[in-house]
Amino acid sequence: MFQTLFVDPLFNVLIFLYDFASFQDFGIAIILLTTLIRIVFLPFFYKGAKNQIIIQRLQPEINKIQHDHQHDREKQAQALMELYRRHKVNPFSSFLMLFIQLPVLIAIYQVFLRGFSPELFDHLYAFVPRPEQLNSSLLGLIDLQEKSILMVSFAAVAQYLQGHLALPASQKSKEPSSAEKIARQMVYLGPVFTIAILSSLPSAVGLYWLVTSVFSIGQQLYINKTLNLNQEKEEHGISKTKT
C-alpha cells in the first residue's frame, strides 16, 4: 500500500523529470523533484514556520501566564489558548506539518536508498519512458549513489543557517527562557545530527536535504521580513494613537 501510494509515484516523477526536464542529469532531477515537493507542501511549511516564529516572540507573555497561573492548570490553559487565538496562531501546527510530510520523507528516502537496479524500473508507469542508461551524477561532479563529505558539509551549513534564521531576536536585557536556550542549542545540534545521518547515506539524500534547507532559508527570510514589517506597522499605529 505504502509502495503504491507514495514510493512509486515519487519514483515515477523523478524518472519523468530525468527524462524530460533535467538534461538527463540525476542531480538536476532531484533538485526539481525536491522543489516540486516543497511547492506542493508550501502552505503547510509556511504556516508551521510562521507559527513557530510567532510563538517564539510570544514567549515572554507565555512565561508570564505560566507564572501567574502556575497553581491553576485550567486557567493557565485558557489564558494560553486566548493568547494564541488573539495572535491567530496554532501551537500544534508544527506537529501537523510533520505528520503530513512524514510519509513523503520516508518514501523519498526509500527511492534514493534502494539505488536504481533494473528491477526497480519495473515500477514505472506506462507513460514514463525507461532510461536506457541512468547518469547518476550531479553535473558530472558527484556520483549521487556514493557517499560525499562535500555534500554532507553543504547540507550541514544550510541546516545551521536555517536554524539560525528561525531564532527570535535576542534581548540583552532579559535572561533567555529555557525554551529559547533549547532552541539555540538545536541550532548547533541540528548540523551535528545532519552530519551523523548523511555521512553513511548516498549523496542523493544529502542533495535532497540541502535543497530542502535552501528552500526553507528563503521561506524563513520572507517570513521574518513579513513579521518585522507587521510589527513595525503595529508599533507605528500604537505610537500614533498615543500622540
Q: What is the pLDDT of residue 170?
A: 54
Q: What is the pLDDT of residue 168?
A: 64
Question: Is beta strand 142-143 parallel, antiparallel or unpaired with respect to 137-138?
Answer: antiparallel
Q: What b/e sequence results for 112-144 when a residue is b if at least 16 CB atoms lie within 10 Å of its CB, and e otherwise? A: beeebeeeeeebbeeebeeeeebbbbbeeebbb
Q: What gap in Å lies between CA 27 and CA 152, rounded to an integer?
A: 15
Q: What is the DSSP string of 111-159?
A: HHHT---GGGGGG--TTSPPPSS---EETTTEETTS--HHHHHHHHHHH
Q: What is the pTM of this model?
A: 0.77
Q: pLDDT 10s per residue in the chain (243 long)?
A: 788 888 888 889 998 998 888 888 889 999 999 999 888 888 777 777 777 777 777 878 888 888 888 888 888 888 888 888 888 887 776 666 667 777 887 888 888 777 666 777 888 888 888 887 778 889 888 888 888 899 999 999 998 998 888 776 654 445 666 666 777 788 888 899 889 988 888 888 889 999 989 988 888 888 778 777 766 665 555 555 555
- DSSP lists the bridge partners of residue 138 as 142
Q: What gap in Å lies between CA 157 and CA 147, rounded to an integer?
A: 17
Q: What is the pLDDT of residue 240?
A: 55
Number of Cβ within a 10 Å radius of residue 167: 14
Q: What gap in Å lies between CA 49 and CA 217, rounded to an integer?
A: 11
Q: What is the pLDDT of residue 178?
A: 64
